[in-house]
Structure 1
């Protein structure tokens, strides 16, 4: 397979849950994180309440997720974990009155599942108000299950909420149809209705039957009718990411009942090591992509969830080789943040493998490799949590406080460059410390993931222990029916 770095032209575009308001920790950094959450929440409440997102520079609104209030559903469990009682009751009132039929736009099955259904189920696990489960069942029955009403039972990407039918369209994305099962399994566990788990898990079993030249890893674009890949493009970034993540987590959530999914996860990680791993001359290790016969040396922040996922599996399986693999990926993900002028990682980047002749590449790429160790592509930052997510797992699973120091440096950079008078926003260019432009958009996952992981890194480790909870791809925690032993003893 030929190694193919990014083209120069592209580069030039450059224990027990403690939920009371008396938070069980002496680390003052938790209070700073809580204040950051309250700052963003108050701005959203004042200027965009009930809408999906706030535009925190102009104080405008956005409805990219059907206008049901995605930020509220995504932030609800973070509010409970942080013990914010006033904010909880405000959110609860909105949840009670949401009308799933109020949208005119098709519902994107994957996003509705991870943000809305996941948020409701997690809130119920944390604070069992019946309204959360009622709304979850209502949403699943009327908006999510109709996606499976296709000739082969594979979930359509979108559902017309008004008709309750899947919309026309043949293209499917691996991460979107292949990672619905964690939320659906938890819904079955809470309701006793096995239909949800079965319909979602059957899709995963069907994936396992599809031939692939790289065991366990698949192209991200599929055809709905034939249920086969319609391209050869493989990535662990957007379009592939949560598929691999959920194989392990569904196994954990079912107390080992999904052994097939664990086997699928182990195969996928082995192939990542064999086919995707690439090392630079500066010892940074990244996961490449594959297209046709080319190994594309490009990746991004979205892939930086995988070190934490691999370490979680390594600790559960007591696999020292996986621990080494996870650790080298973790270090490299963090270093992509640490070496920029802003202390914030770019959205995507490329690199030159240590086996390649660096002098054969353009000067601008050589300079980037010598300066940062990689070649930035998209230099924006979208409030992403993935590196923080992995840092959370590494801190909880090792107990090493250096990971807290890493997280704090990242938070300080976000606070410095992304904060506005009303919240936090994506920014245009992490490669310059002066003149950073605010791009006026605050994703709902900033409440669900970025601030939650930051808080939990500094909270008492008994809060949301990994022995008792499994986190969804949107960082919504689900209660394990039977505790496991993976978290370090603090």
Structure 2
């Protein structure tokens, strides 16, 4: 079955009209692209202006300029550390003042630069944005004889270049976005099921890795969908939608999904439902996001179906805190009680999707954990808050959730907890920027030596948007990807 963008329906429940500036600057670019492609009046052209279902931005408080300025200054501390020690490389090691590459050793793609583009825009660091775009247009070479992790490349490289284009209108960035996507597409098109392989050689198109977890199956429809809108070529959206459809065909009678699938046989390789924890987390996030951005009712229905099952069969309350247990997808039997910091995004997602009391409760569960540790450990056992993985990888998910909740209702609680997160993160501050920790349970905290590229895309952007009342972001219609990329709401 061929996937197309559904036509807008003015009678869709919960919808409201979209302001002109909600999709870039009055959707002028999308309209021009559709006209040039002969798509005006088609479902694809209509999908570009679907309104948001989230009631965000209606009661937001004024800016807290002092705190926003502190966040911006700390972002610049990390950014300048990267520029000094690792410019053009993928990631900086701020303690040793060295660098590392993320995808292929010896072949940098300036990943931290790509990740930072729309953050630089939102923070009005225009000289830095121009410097970064100029560098990428001159030096970025994706013709690499090496395997790229498809999931990471889509949310980081495709998403970063895409949002960079959306905030700058520089045509070369869209060309690079499309090139990156085309080099990654064999992971989908060479799969017998349409469920993507995990690795693809960016030069040859050779694929490998036949057992992706769910997050790697579904976390592509936002980036690919917006690219289809901009180019008029639906092949990207079709590939992403097929991967979702094939997975949902394999849902259990309980409404639960396993952890990983074999792309060649279509059979479950692991039948444990770990939602909302990794490695399945953003599979569910992009179901909702696909409805928000494209009005695709299949994605909405799949989101509702899986969310009902997760809330019914996996939610537990321990000492007054809401958590989600791991369960066998076919029997519902408990298989684990771990909670990953990566899952803390789910509070914001539940609230955006209409389950606000549960979303707020889950967020507060993580706030309780944050009272136990200076910064959140990677993983806990939710029955006693003990750290089962003691490191911290500068994760942004907790503050991502705070931002989503803040965008919904502007409550001071979300600002307060975000500020606590920001203050705690200063435990990871070093002369060259911010670094990961190997153990957050000891004092002094045991530090590592890496600033993950996503720190430039996510942590500081969420914090800045919470405090700044940023004039370049439309809080009423804005939508960010799982990697914090601005895909809608650029002013």
TM-score range, shorter chain: 0.7 to 0.9
Picking from 42, 46, 56, the partner of 2:94 is 56
Aligned counterpart, 2:381: 350
Q: Deviations over 1:238-262 (max 9, x none)?
A: 21011000001011101x2x10110
Cα pair 2:440 2:446 within 8 Å, conserved: no
2:464 paired with 1:455: yes
Distance 2:489 2:290 in 1: 11
Cα 1:37–1:172, aligned 2, differ >3 Å: closer, same or farther?
same
In the TM superposition, what whole-angstrom CA distance separates every residue of 1:3-41 from its partner, at most 9, and x where no partner exists? xxxxxxxxxxxx75899xxxx945211111111111111
Question: What does residue 95 of structure 1 align with?
Answer: 136
TM-score by length of 1: 0.83
- How does 1:37-186 map onto structure 2 within 5 Å? 37-66=75-104, 67-145=108-186, 147-167=188-208, 169-186=209-226
- CA 208–350 in structure 1, closer or farther in 2 if over 3 Å, else same: same
Say whether the 8 Å CA contact 1:17–1:463 is kept in structure 2: no
Change over 3 Å in CA distance of 1:100–1:218 after alignment to 2: farther
Partner of 1:399: 410
- Aligned partners of 1:376, 1:346: CA distance in 2, in Å? 6
Cα contact 2:338–2:379 (8 A) shared by 1: yes
Q: What TM-score, normalized by structure 2, do the two folds share?
A: 0.83
**Deviates most, 461-470 or 444-453:** 461-470
CA contact (8 A) 1:299 1:349 kept: yes
What's the offset of the Cα at 1:156?
Answer: 1.2
Match of 2:278 in 1: 238
State how far apart, in whole Å, the 1-side matches of 2:469 and 2:414 are. 15
Q: How does 1:190-229 map to 2 (within 5 A)?
A: 190-215=230-255, 217-229=256-268
Q: Shift in Å at residue 226 of structure 1? A: 1.3
Shift of 1:480: 6.3
Q: Deviations 1:313-365 (Å, cap 9, x if unpaired)?
A: 11xxxxxxx1111111011112111222x2x111111133xxxxxxxxxxxxx
Which residue of 2 is the match for residue 470 of structure 1?
Answer: 479
Is 1:338–2:338 an aligned residue pair?
no
Q: Is the 8 Å Cα contact of residues 56 and 424 (structure 1) preserved in structure 2?
A: yes
Confirm or deny: 8 A CA contact 2:23 2:489 kept in the other structure: no
Distance in 1 separating the partners of 2:376 and 2:254: 29
- 2:305 counterpart residue number: 267
- Report how many aligned residue pairs link the two structures: 428
Deviations 1:25-60 (A, max 9, x none): 452111111111111111111111111111111111
After TM superposition, give the deviation of residue 104 of structure 1 in Å.
Answer: 4.2
Quickly say closer, same or farther: Cα 1:386–1:459, change in 2 above 3 A: same
Partner of 1:8: none
Counterpart Cα distance in 2 of 1:409 and 1:101: 40
Mapped to 2, the partners of 1:110 and 1:469 lie a distance apart of 23
**Relative to structure 1, is the Cα distance of residues 207 and 125 closer, same or farther in structure 2, using a 3 angstrom cutoff?**
same
Counterpart in 1 of 2:356?
A: 323
Q: 1:147 to 1:408 in 2, by over 3 A?
A: same
| Residue pair 1:146, 1:166 contacting (<8 A) in 2 also | yes
> Which runs of 5 or more structure 1 residues have no equivalent in the other structure?
1-14, 315-321, 353-368, 484-490
- Shift of residue 86, structure 1, vs aligned partner: 1.9
Q: Which consecutive segments of 4 or more residues in structure 1 shift more than 4 A?
A: 15-19
Is the CA contact 1:113–1:144 (under 8 Å) kept in the aligned structure 2? no
Does the CA-based 8 Å contact 1:284-1:332 persist in structure 2?
yes
Q: Aligned pair 1:414/2:425, yes or no?
A: yes
Task: Determine the structure 2 residue equivalent to 1:4.
Answer: none
Aligned pair 1:284/2:321, yes or no?
yes
Q: Give the aligned partner of residue 306 of structure 1.
A: 346
Structure-1 separation of matches of 2:290 and 2:198: 21
